[in-house]
Structure 1
């Protein structure tokens, strides 16, 4: 019989800010764990520029707009005003992205069955007409895979950076202190950027040895690949790319190696 509190007293890194961490932390607590909230990425909208304004003015000329994250949706809508007409058809990656869009009163017309760029492209291409005009708002560190693949398939794709990603200084100091003191048992990563920012701290302060006793969990193959690039073992990486499944996968690992 499985332990009813399989994460009992385990300190679990929650790599999100206060506004996004609540449900993640509550899930950890429900299994007896202690959430350690350290936002490994923060986002800030870019200053409005001519490129962005041109895309917004031409919004009605696009056939599709692709949102790859809920942050992209939230940020994009901060740039809209009454002068901007209706959105073109919308495609999204991820259940959370779809929900945030719905809260804005917009229904996504396409959502892939698996929430990664490669699967998105494979399922989206059959419904994308050659010559279609596609807008992809993105962060400064986002991959170019979708834009490249759609362009190769004959679409006219415009990418526009609408926010930048950074590691808050207070997070850097907290990671350094807690990792150095052995205060984190389970490291969870939700994107390649969270890995890069965490490892930046590890490298700057020589904390590789302190990571050796940590269990590492992640969401998605791209994040897992990024961890492997740093030479790290990944102990839990679920087939379903959600926080809930990542925690369940972590618990499965713990039960097998208890």
Structure 2
């Protein structure tokens, strides 16, 4: 069974999906997260001057859940909750009990376009996010006259065990390809790969989305494929398409 490295935290969805297609998923988390400004977040969640909230990352959802109380924040039951991807939508339902819009839109850029079309120019949205957030979404919304109240609720750092994990991958795992899930993860991984002689850099590189793909290309590495949507099935399709094409050309 071919082994595929997924640079993300352990996911049963991905593990199951890859196993069903005869791949073994090997998970390596390149990032660590520190939650901050939770008191300010709690206070903002009690305000009633927002039309909705934007939660585009699992960490932002987790940050909100750390100060969430269904009875305390009933005002959010009637407000719009936007996200990207099915996994995040499920996480919002499980952790916050709220129904989210945007699980099929695929990217923050698409989300921003839909939000601009659906909401009045006078709308105001809360945006809990990380310190390395992309400015694409708030910029598009602000150009449409929609107010975005961004609050940094977590900081992204390099996993202190990343180099050790990469050396183990290089020496013992023998994967057929690697899948990257964030621009910051790409940067930390390549920073460590440059510190030792490795076979990993020449493996096919796949990305969960365009921003991650652009980061890999900026590091001087060719992209083998980009998932059409941020979900396990789309990642597998990208990987299988690459190897089918490779076999057909050989």
5 Å matches for 1:143-162?
143-162=134-153
Distance 1:166 1:160, change over 3 A: same
Alpha-carbon offset, residue 231 of structure 1: 1.0
5 Å matches for 1:21-100?
21-46=11-36, 48-49=38-39, 51-58=40-47, 60-81=48-69, 83-87=72-76, 88-100=79-91
1:179 equivalent in alignment to 2:167: no
The answer for the alignment partner of 1:231 in structure 2 is: 220
The question of whether the paired residues in 2 share the 8 Å contact of 1:112 and 1:120 is answered with no
Distance 1:129 1:47, change over 3 A: closer
Deviations 1:167-186 (A, max 9, x none): 22223311133225673321
The question of whether the paired residues in 2 share the 8 Å contact of 1:236 and 1:250 is answered with yes
What is the aligned-residue RMSD (CA, Å)?
Answer: 2.3
Which of the numbers 5, 9, 13 marks the counterpart of 1:13? 5
**TM-score, normalising length: structure 1:** 0.84
Q: Which runs of 4+ in 1 moved over 3 A?
A: 51-54, 81-85
The answer for the alignment partner of 1:250 in structure 2 is: 239
The answer for the alignment partner of 2:229 in structure 1 is: 240
The answer for the alignment partner of 2:207 in structure 1 is: 218
The answer for the alignment partner of 1:195 in structure 2 is: 186
Q: Say which SS state the counterpart of residue 202 (structure 2) adopts.
A: coil
CA distance in 1, matches of 2:169, 2:140: 41
Q: Say which SS state the counterpart of residue 99 (structure 1) adopts.
A: helix
1:136 equivalent in alignment to 2:127: yes
Structure 2: gaps spanning 5 or more residues = none
**TM-score, normalising length: structure 2:** 0.86
The question of whether the paired residues in 1 share the 8 Å contact of 2:177 and 2:204 is answered with yes
Alpha-carbon offset, residue 223 of structure 1: 1.1
CA distance in 2, matches of 1:215, 1:140: 29
Distance 1:212 1:202, change over 3 A: closer
Q: How many residues align?
A: 243
CA distance in 2, matches of 1:240, 1:63: 27
Deviations 1:101-133 (A, max 9, x none): 22232112x327432121111111112112211
